[in-house]
Each structure stands twice: as structure tokens, then as C-alpha cells.
Amino acid sequence: MSVASLAEEAKQKKPAKPIATIQTLRGFKDIVPADQDPWRLVRSTAEHFAEAYGFGEITLPVLEETALFNRSIGKQTDIVEKEMFTFADQSEGSISLRPEATASVVRAYINHGMLNLPQPVKLYYWGPMFRRERPQAGRLRQFNQFGLEVLGDSNPVLDAELINLTYNFFRQLGLSAINIQVNSIGCQDCRKQYRDELVAYYKPKRRLLCEDCKRRLVKNPLRLLDCKQPSCRALRAEAPQIVDWLDEGCKSHFMKVIEYLDGLDVPYVLNPFLVRGLDYYTKTVFEIWHGDQEGGAQSALGGGGRYDGLVEMLGGRATPALGCSIGIERVILVLKEQQVVIKPSYVPQVFIAQIGDQGKIKAMILFEKLRQAGIAAAQNFAKDSLKSQLESANKFGVSHVLILGQKEVLDGTILVRDMENGVQEIIDYNKALPEIRKKLAQRQIAETPLVEKSS
């Protein structure tokens, strides 16, 4: 083929169509390395709290039979009605990505015969939940929860302990403006009477309600109380309050919880309209808000309460229980908003720079030695130029750079550069560990502020 015809063929070839990139689904997010520090902080704090308060970790599947959520969260709730990711599986029937984990914890409690363990059984979990909600800041379709569940004991001190734990967890993270909302929605019996009362109150005002609330009036009247529409809010102000309908048992349980919270100095707000969005609750319910919210449901950092009927509803022996979950993405948003300082998990003290193949090998061996000795080192072995390696060292903010150039390799030495004053020193490669330790210790002493003795 001639050069001319080759050129003609190339001219006629259509330009290659750019390949479309694929994005994450709406409401689903990647968490890239640069964003991981707050995640690590929240997770390690959560684990520390859970273990300190005697909770054991449980890891649960993300897929469950849809019936588990229908029966527990309730068919008439927003979550089950419109937010679940549900699929027909070839052999398992209808399955769903878990929208929350309390139902799974209860299933596991029954399946593993935990009813026979000393009670209460305290379990905690961490992991992704899935709800097909309209995505916005703090509201995702895949989000993560840290959850705590206590099964097998009806003592109100447990309700107070759980609220206290949650409150201290947020304090430990350094968050301010934490606002705990508490209410009691009683047991099935007192709630039935209250529900009738509520319907009687709202029925004559039906035309003033939003479309959703008109449906709620028939299907799930308690949910009328947490509608965010201004017209429904206005009506709520005069609505009957559940606390007035609590029977003696539920009332005294609630009084005890309040008494313990007062004794512990945990600040809380009694919110007679707090009802929560899941059907399994009984007696104490609570939410942790950031600020005084009311504006958007996204400011609830967590929520929970008692669910004394759930174990039985899912086929187990009647067992009182309670729990709560915290939304990690929302906590991280607030950490950022409040500019809470988060220490990175790995802070290199030294940088190892190298030149040439032999330099690279010695540098890699040295890196491993330092790592084993607990000295945090950084490196960029793929770079050949010393200049760009020193730039990296600067970015890491290390106190010393250890240079292994051709001369050092031949001499069996390392050139150590103090990044603060630029002073360079040669040390023996074989004595690198004690020498570097000494230098880091000297630097630490120099940087420790002198504390003035009070007379």
C-alpha cells in the first residue's frame, strides 16, 4: 500500500467515539482516601464506646427476606412503602437490601438462641443501610450506621444508659449543639386509645392536611405528628399529647428514665410529638439532633427507643429490648461544619529518598526496618529525581529526610537532612535505627514546650 493511500485511509477513518464514563448511582458515594480520617475517628470512637459499655460486635448480612422488614418496620411506613430496594431472587423469593439493622439483630438473636444467654444481650454493629430516598446533603441511598441494641431486659435504667452513652459519644467526638429529644409512645394498649383520640382530633380538620397526612390519617395516624409541612405543623400544636394517655406502667417507666437522665446530668428536651418513623417502638423513644432543627429530618444524627414487642413479632419468645442507631455520614458532615480537628491516622516522621537501583533496594530495606521498629516513614520509590522526592518530603512535613544516593550506597552510609535547619549529617547504614531514633527523640524534646512551675 502506498503512502498516499495510507494517508487517504487515515483521513476517511472516523474519529473514535469517546467512551462514556460510568458514575456512581444517585445517592451512592465513594469514600476516597483523602476523606477517610473522619471515618476512622468515628468508627474507632464508636467501637471504643460500645466495648466499654459491654456491647459485643455483630456483623449481619445486607440482604434479607423482605418479610423481615415488612413485619418489623411496618408495611405502612415510608421506609417499607416506598424506600426499600427490593428484588425478586431466582430461588429466595422477595429479598431486600436492609434499610436498617434492628430487624436483622432481632432475627439473629432468635436464630442463634441468644435468649438462652445471660440477659441483657448487648450487641453493636457498623455498616451500610439502603433507602431509596430523595438524595440531598445528609440524605443518601446508601448510608452507614453505628447501632447498639440491648435485648432481654425491661429495666428503664437501660434506656437512660443508652441515651447517656450516645450523648457521651457525641461529646467525645468534640461535637457541640447536641440536642437530645425524648418521648414515650407507650405500649400497644395505651397507644390504641391515643390513636383514636388523635384521629378524632384530626378528622374534622382533614381538608387542612397535606396529601401525605390525609393518607396517614387512615393508615398510620401517629405519623401525622412529625410531618414537616407548615399547615400540618400548625394543627399539631393543639393535638392531644401521648403522655396524657400513658397507662400506669408506661408512665412510671418513663418517669424512671427521666429521673436517671437528670441524675446523670444528661441534657434532654421532652418532645411530646416525637414518634419515630418505624412501627416497632414502644415506650421510650429518642432522637439526637444537631442544633434545634425541626427544619429538615436530615439533622437527626441518630435515633432509637424501646421495641418490647419486636422479638415476639418475629417469632421469638416475648422479650423486652431497646436500641439506637447513629447516621455516620451526618455525623461527619457536622464534624466538618464545626471544624473539629481530626488527626490523620498515619503521620510520617521521616522520608526516605533514593537515587539509582541500588539506592532503591537499600531504601526499601530501610523502610521495612523502620516500619518494624515503629518509626513512621514515607517514601516515593517510583520517583528518580531527588528534587521531586524532597518536594514530597516537604508535603509530608517530616522532620528528617534519609537520602540513599550512589555515594552513600558505595560507602554504606545514609545522608540525613534535618528539614528544619537544613543541616546534613552522614550516618552508618548499619546503625541507622538507633541513630534515627536518637534524632527523633532530640527533636521531640526540642519541641516540647517548657511548663512554668507555679510557685
Least spacing, CB of residue 198 vs ligand HAM, in Å: 21
Cβ proximity to ligand HAM: between 260 and 286 the closer is 286
The angle, 0 to 180 degrees and rounded to 10, between the axes of the packed helices 248-264 and 156-172 is 40
| Residue of closest CB approach to ligand HAM | 327
Burial of 23 (0-12, 13-18, 19+ CB in 10 A): exposed
Least spacing, CB of residue 69 vs ligand HAM, in Å: 11
Q: What residue type is assigned to position 447 of the chain?
A: E
CB distance 126 to 108 below 8 Å: no
Cell 451500610, residue located: 128
Least spacing, CB of residue 330 vs ligand HAM, in Å: 4
Q: In whole angstroms, give the CA distance from residue 227 to residue 213.
A: 7
Least spacing, CB of residue 324 vs ligand HAM, in Å: 5
Q: In whole angstroms, give the CA distance from residue 109 to residue 123.
A: 10
Least spacing, CB of residue 277 vs ligand HAM, in Å: 6
Cβ proximity to ligand HAM: between 64 and 100 the closer is 100
Cβ proximity to ligand HAM: between 152 and 277 the closer is 277
Give me 331's grid cell: 455525623
Least spacing, CB of residue 36 vs ligand HAM, in Å: 18
Least spacing, CB of residue 101 vs ligand HAM, in Å: 6
Cβ proximity to ligand HAM: between 299 and 349 the closer is 299
Residue by residue, DSSP assigns 265-315 as T---EE-TT---S-TT-EEEEEEEEETT--S-GGGEEEEEEE-TTHHHHTT
Least spacing, CB of residue 106 vs ligand HAM, in Å: 9
Q: In whole angstroms, give the CA distance from residue 83 to residue 130.
A: 8
Cβ proximity to ligand HAM: between 85 and 381 the closer is 85
Least spacing, CB of residue 422 vs ligand HAM, in Å: 49
Q: What residue type is assigned to position 235 of the chain?
A: L
Cβ proximity to ligand HAM: between 77 and 389 the closer is 77
Polymer length of the chain = 455
Cβ proximity to ligand HAM: between 160 and 278 the closer is 278
In angstroms, the Cα distances linking 366 to 55, 84, 385 are: 42, 52, 19
Q: Which residues bind ligand HAM (CB under 6 A)?
A: 100, 102, 131, 133, 138-140, 143, 145, 147, 149, 277-278, 300-305, 323-325, 327, 329-330
Q: In whole angstroms, give the CA distance from residue 32 to residue 24.
A: 13
Least spacing, CB of residue 269 vs ligand HAM, in Å: 16
Cβ proximity to ligand HAM: between 133 and 408 the closer is 133
CB distance 42 to 328 below 8 Å: yes
Cβ proximity to ligand HAM: between 100 and 159 the closer is 100
CB distance 327 to 143 below 8 Å: yes
Least spacing, CB of residue 197 vs ligand HAM, in Å: 25
Residues 113-122, buried b or exposed e (16+ Cβ, 10 A)?
ebeeeeebbb
Q: In whole angstroms, give the CA distance from residue 344 to residue 355.
A: 29
Cβ proximity to ligand HAM: between 131 and 253 the closer is 131
Cβ proximity to ligand HAM: between 224 and 350 the closer is 224
Q: What are phi and psi of 240, to 5 degrees?
A: -60, 150
Do you find a cis peptide bond into 120, omega within 30 degrees of 0? Answer: yes
CB distance 289 to 301 below 8 Å: yes
Cβ proximity to ligand HAM: between 301 and 432 the closer is 301
Least spacing, CB of residue 230 vs ligand HAM, in Å: 23
From edge to edge, which strands make up the β-sheet containing 93-97?
63-65, 93-97, 86-89
Q: How far is CA 389 from the centre of its chain?
A: 36
